[in-house]
Amino acid sequence: MNFFTILVGIILVNNYVLAQFLGICPFLGVSKKLDSAVGMGVAVIFVMVLATAATWPIQQLLNMWGIGYLQTIVFILIIAALVQFVEMVLKKFIPALHKSLGVYLPLITTNCAVLGVCISNIDAGYNYIESLVNSFGAGVGFLLAMVIFSGMRSKLEGNTAIPASFQGVPITLASAALLSLAFMGFGGLV
Amino acid sequence: MEKKISKLAILTKGIIKENPVLVLLLGTCPTLATTSSAFNGMGMGIAATAVLICSNIVISLLAKIIPDKVRIPCYIVVIAGFVTLVQFIVQAFAEPLYNSLGVFLPLIVVNCIILGRAEMFANKNNPLDSALDGIGMGLGFTLALTVMGAVREIIGNGTIFSSFFLGDPDMFTIKIPFLVDHPFMIVALAPGGFFIFGCAIAAVNKMMAKKGGAPREFSCQGCALASMCQQEKCIAELDKVEIKKGAEA
């Protein structure tokens, strides 16, 4: 498959947040400010690519030994260990990067988008390079959605036109619905 | 000293008062993704409930053995084990449901309701109370998902309980006149998921406002990882909770 097709498909058409509902918690929780949205998005891209790089070969091993059904347990353990490891390495060797991304890393362990992308790569039958491209694209799609949405949310802050019962979470979800509707326009691209 | 809560209160609090989806705002991903039809939402709810009850019991039994520092990874392993079991069972007995839930079935493992109950309830309480808590929270989750699925199915497809995975697809199907010929398909698609969920929370806000509750925000209180999280927001929230607890004592 063409790498470009994979990228367009995963970033715009099947956007992880807006079309497949993966990673909704950080999407709604951390998108209030632009800089934290960017930080979270970059951290997710980083962890997604690393996690795929680690889990794809291991799935081949599991398949070889005939224990492919242990996928869920093994993947979540690898992701948890990997995130811890990355945090330690960053703290020791690149403190500046740790300061800007480190706070988001523990949250990513239980981010369903990361485990989701690892499992989807296997289910879709991608080879190693395609899997890495797909994971990178999924992360970029997440970052894109986060950045656009943080802009939308800044308009909601302190808006008095919103009915009382819709303030807070409901209006946030309704604006996410509009953004999702906009992304549906990419439907026929791939 | 904390007052002893009755067994019935533990069981019922998850269904309405502390409904994990509509009140605590946990587990939003599966809520949005699997509620395109009523049976789909119900299937997801039941699968998650089964995992929640089993993991709550096992974690409350193991709470004293697990070292505090590595408790979260240990909980995740226990939960992942039960998720694998449930995956097998669903695949064996309801394959169309297995296919339609897709990646969200293994993703029960990172459902914050389950990890959250392990961290906030099961590791502090005995196995019986933890099981009751699991049943209550699970029922609340299933109920919320089924209702949301039903609403989206009625408006988006004009049917209710269309049971495509039970051999005869029309066994329980109730067709809604007019809507079945002119469905608002967008409601069953992704944007409708966000919008209907928003409306459901707005309805809960309205009900709570009558009792004097304020509209809620996405906060760190319900998050299982709040105690480990280094975000300033989470630390501030936790401090607030601690102060509140201190004031009550």
Minimum CA–CA partner of A75 in chain B: B80
Question: Residue A159: inside a domain, yes or no?
Answer: yes
How far out from the chain centre does Cα A44 lie? 5
Amino acid B123: pLDDT: 85
Contact status of B202 with chain A (Cβ, < 8 Å): yes
Whole-number average pLDDT of chain B: 81
Minimum CA–CA partner of A100 in chain B: B231
Q: Kindly report which listed range (A118-127, A170-179, B59-68, B177-186) carries the lowest average pLDDT score.
A: B177-186
Does the beta-carbon distance from A180 to B29 stay under 8 Å? no
Determine the Cα–Cα distance for residues B144 and B203; give it in Å rounded to an integer. Answer: 13
Percent of chain A exceeding pLDDT 70 equals 98
Does the beta-carbon distance from B198 to A23 stay under 8 Å? no
B contact residues 211-240, partner A, Cβ 8 Å cutoff: 215-218, 224-225, 228-232
Amino acid A189: pLDDT: 80
Interval A5-26 mean pLDDT: 88
Amino acid B13: pLDDT: 82
DSSP string, A65-82: TT-GGGHHHHHHHHHHHH
DSSP string, A8-46: HIIIIIT-TTTTT--SHHHHHHS-SSHHHHHHHHHHHHH
Minimum CA–CA partner of B106 in chain A: A72
pLDDT band for position B219 (50/70/90)? low
Percent of chain B exceeding pLDDT 70 equals 79
Determine the Cα–Cα distance for residues A157 and A175; give it in Å rounded to an integer. Answer: 12
ipTM: 0.86
Contact status of B51 with chain A (Cβ, < 8 Å): no
| pLDDT (tens digit per residue) in B47-94 | 999 999 999 999 999 988 988 888 888 888 899 999 999 999 999 988
The count of domains in chain A is 1
| pLDDT (tens digit per residue) in B167-181 | 566 667 777 777 777
Minimum CA–CA partner of A23 in chain B: B29
Closest CA–CA distance from residue A54 to any residue of chain B (Å) = 18
Amino acid B215: pLDDT: 60
Amino acid A105: pLDDT: 77
**What is the span of the domain harbouring residue A21?**
15-184
Amino acid A29: pLDDT: 78
Interval A3-10 mean pLDDT: 88
| pLDDT (tens digit per residue) in A135-145 | 999 999 999 99
More confident residue, A134 or B235: A134
Amino acid B45: pLDDT: 93
Question: Residue A4: inside a domain, yes or no?
Answer: no
Whether B224 has a pLDDT exceeding 80, the answer reads: no
Among positive and negative, which fits the CA dihedral A21, A23, A26, A27?
Answer: negative
Amino acid B2: pLDDT: 47
Nearest to A21 among B29, B87, B112 (CB): B29
Does the beta-carbon distance from A173 to B216 stay under 8 Å? no
| pLDDT (tens digit per residue) in A83-102 | 888 888 888 888 877 777 77
CB distance B8 to B128 below 8 Å: no
Question: Residue A29: inside a domain, yes or no?
Answer: yes
Question: Residue A103: inside a domain, yes or no?
Answer: yes
Does the beta-carbon distance from A103 to B231 stay under 8 Å? yes
Determine the Cα–Cα distance for residues A50 and B226; give it in Å rounded to an integer. Answer: 24
